[in-house]
Amino acid sequence: MKIYTKTGDQGTTALFGGTRVPKHHIRINSYGTIDELNSWLGLIRDQRIDDRSAEVLTLIQEKLFTVGAILATEPKKAVLKNGKERLNIPKISDTDIQLLETEMDHMDTQLSRMTHFILPGGHTTVSYCHIARTVCRRAERMATLLHEQEPIDPAVLKYINRLSDYLFVLARKLSFDLKAKEIKWIPEKKG
């Protein structure tokens, strides 16, 4: 199988199910941003981090392939006329979302109470985590726009939302592990 197909040379690409759309279509931007996020998670996982965080990031990366497949599929093409699923695409489950919540709760037990916003930075690994968080938020904005145009599984939206929270808590945990300083954002007082 060749990597290049030349079918996208005119600025279109195919969704799962065969429909061709412009490469700037909201559906493409949605799953493309998930793909970008997945690459950032790989970079974080490649850093010197604890085994549990690396293991959870791998699980998340696998789920992001599922999210991407869901976003790349037009709802009307996913189901046959008899109601059966046309494409064998896994779903995002409550268990997937619960994993993120459980991991956040566990990490929070190790961290000091947060009283202010925190400036991103302090260590390269922590910064990568904050970049991933912001890419995740962009993916969420794209997915919610897509959802307004063509409804998608609400579990996908919930997963992406929870994932950005997870990445914030992971950044704090990595700051703690790496003994990086967290700089609080304290607004200047006027006058």
Instruction: Render pLDDT for 73-111 as a digit per residue (tens, 0 to 9).
Output: 887 666 555 556 666 778 999 999 999 999 999 999 998
59, 40 in Cβ contact below 8 A? no
CA distance 145 to 165: 20
Higher pLDDT, 157 or 75: 157
Whether 3 has a pLDDT exceeding 80, the answer reads no
Give the rounded percent of residues in the chain with a pLDDT score beyond 90. 63
Is residue 72 within 8 A of residue 33, CB to CB? The reply is: no
- Give the per-residue pLDDT at 78: 60
Query: CA-to-CA distance for 9 and 159, rounded, in angstroms?
Result: 33
Domains present along the chain, CATH in parentheses: 12-179 (1.20.1200.10)
Structure confidence at residue 118 (pLDDT): 86
CB 66 within 8 A of CB 160: no
Is the pLDDT confidence value at 19 over 90?
no
pLDDT at 14 over 90: no
User: 73 has which bridge partners?
Assistant: 16
Give the contacts of 44 (CB within 8 A, at least 6 positions apart): 57, 125, 128, 129, 132, 170
CA distance 85 to 82: 9
Which three-class secondary structure state does DSSP give residue 21?
Answer: strand
pLDDT of residue 81: 56
The CA distance from 24 to 4, in Å, is 19
The residue with greater pLDDT, 182 or 157, is 157
In the predicted model, is pLDDT for residue 174 greater than 60?
A: yes
By DSSP bridging, strand 117-119 and strand 20-22 are: unpaired
Question: What are 26-61's pLDDT values in tens digits?
Answer: 888 899 999 999 999 999 999 999 999 999 999 999
